[in-house]
Structure 1
Amino acid sequence: MSTKTLFILGLLFIIVSAYFYAQNDARLTQVSLKPTDIDYQAEQIKALQTTETGSVGYQLTAAQVTHYQNANTAVMSKPQIVIRPKNEREVTLVADQAQLDENKQIAKLIGNVTLTSVPLLTQNTSMSNLPVKMIGKNFVGDLVNNTVMTNEPLTFIHGNNRFDAKQFSGDLATGDYGFGQVSVMIQPAQ
């Protein structure tokens, strides 16, 4: 074969492999959990995850946890995750169930999910100090980067303001939230 043919085949291989690499979204893959892989089960757990610098990354409580050793995954019922990012807000995620990938620190929150963001200091009564609440289903949270997202419909509530959206992604550390396909109903004053 000539060098030109090998170069073209190599280029095609790189393009195809890049396509498959881009399509592999590790956050949304399903983990095969088998009863024989169960390492331990516990009830009424409370856990604290720290960062490399020793500060608190997040606090986790759950009614029940089942740990699968081969998948390095914990399945929890009634989990509550509390994150205190650097923007002086406390973010709480509550769900019906969750799967936590312990290697990647990715939490799949399954079923009804409520995200509440409350300011830690409430001296100022401006709109930015009001609690933010989001109610939806099936969120995915990256506990290392403090990000959360969902492709399911959700309701956003901030003070007297309320709207529905079909998608959500947010950076909990900065408070930057992005919504897709937002619908708002405006009621006249009474």
Structure 2
Amino acid sequence: MNTRVLIILALVIAAIAGWFFKQQGEIAPPVSIAPTEVDYEATDIQAVQTNEQGETEYELNAESLSHDPNTNQDVMSGITMNWQPSAEQLYRITSGTATLNQETGDLHLYGGFSLASEDQAKTTQSGEKIAPITVTGEALKGNTKSRQVYSEQPVQVVQGSNRFEAATMKADLETGEYEFGQVAVMFTPAERQDKALF
């Protein structure tokens, strides 16, 4: 082949390539990725927190976790927490979403929560077994270091066959003491049964 044929062939290929690229239209600008506020993320979390004596204080399972370095908070979704603030008290906490500050211990559960005291075979003075308490609501705040939790939103409380609603709730999880505000109870008396006295 002579060089003239090669030059003409190269020009034809360049013309076809130019026409092809012109038909494709404008090239979109490259995607810009903004810096994120998250410095790490993880899924399927299983964590254990111990106290100063090395005893397990709580076990935490979460579907996902991300850490925000600006607020130093862990944001978790789909959490289940088994919390034992003292030898006598054990709680199971579930929530849709939660934030936890590891340094301060501040905990905020939202997207619905359930706080259930686990059965520790507690009995009354007469020997009857005490039913565990389950508190459910929309949001719960607390502190893992002080072992205090509270809700400023309405909660539903169930203990055995007893049920009531309260506008607010405070609890000391170490002692198992609860305080409820503006309690609403529905009372259904037993049906009247007429009996002859004689």
- TM category (shorter chain) comes to 0.7 to 0.9
- The answer for the alignment partner of 2:190 in structure 1 is 189
- The answer for the alignment partner of 1:53 in structure 2 is 53
Select which of 121, 125, 128 maps to 1:126. 128
Residue 123 of structure 2 contacts residue 129 of structure 2 at CA under 8 Å; is this kept in 1?
no
Indicate the structure with greater helix content: 1
Residue 58 of structure 1 contacts residue 143 of structure 1 at CA under 8 Å; is this kept in 2?
no
| Cα distance, 1:35 vs structure 2 | 6.4
Distance (whole Å) between structure 1 residues aligned to residue 118 and residue 73 of structure 2:
29
- The answer for the alignment partner of 2:96 in structure 1 is 96
Residue 121 of structure 2 contacts residue 129 of structure 2 at CA under 8 Å; is this kept in 1?
no
Distance (whole Å) between structure 1 residues aligned to residue 123 and residue 151 of structure 2:
32
1:165 and 2:166 matched: yes
Larger Rg: 2
- RMSD over aligned Cα, in angstroms? 2.0
| Cα distance, 1:98 vs structure 2 | 0.3
- What secondary structure is seen at the aligned counterpart in 2 of 1:181? strand
**Distance verdict in 2 for CA 1:165–1:86, change over 3 Å:** same
| Cα distance, 1:37 vs structure 2 | 2.5
Deviations 1:115-163 (A, max 9, x none): 00012336887252x1210111110021112111000001110011111
Aligned residue pairs: how many?
Answer: 156
- What secondary structure is seen at the aligned counterpart in 1 of 2:113? strand
| Cα distance, 1:87 vs structure 2 | 5.0
- The answer for the alignment partner of 2:151 in structure 1 is 150
Distance (whole Å) between structure 2 residues aligned to residue 98 and residue 42 of structure 1:
15
**Distance verdict in 2 for CA 1:161–1:110, change over 3 Å:** same
Residue 38 of structure 1 contacts residue 68 of structure 1 at CA under 8 Å; is this kept in 2?
yes
| Cα distance, 1:80 vs structure 2 | 1.4
**Distance verdict in 2 for CA 1:35–1:66, change over 3 Å:** farther
- 4+ residue stretches of structure 1 with deviation over 6 A? 122-125
- What secondary structure is seen at the aligned counterpart in 1 of 2:86? coil
Superposition pairs of residues 1-150 of structure 1, within 5 angstroms? 36-86=36-86, 88-121=88-121, 126-128=128-130, 130-150=131-151
Which runs of 5 or more residues in structure 1 are unaligned? Answer: 1-33
TM-score normalised by L of structure 2? 0.73
Deviations 1:167-190 (A, max 9, x none): 000001101100000010001225
Distance (whole Å) between structure 1 residues aligned to residue 158 and residue 76 of structure 2:
27
**Distance verdict in 2 for CA 1:35–1:98, change over 3 Å:** farther
| More displaced stretch, 81-90 vs 57-66 | 81-90
Residue 88 of structure 1 contacts residue 121 of structure 1 at CA under 8 Å; is this kept in 2?
no
**Distance verdict in 2 for CA 1:120–1:54, change over 3 Å:** same
Distance (whole Å) between structure 1 residues aligned to residue 35 and residue 179 of structure 2:
38
Paired residue type of 1:79? I
- What secondary structure is seen at the aligned counterpart in 2 of 1:79? strand
TM-score normalised by L of structure 1? 0.76
Paired residue type of 1:133? T
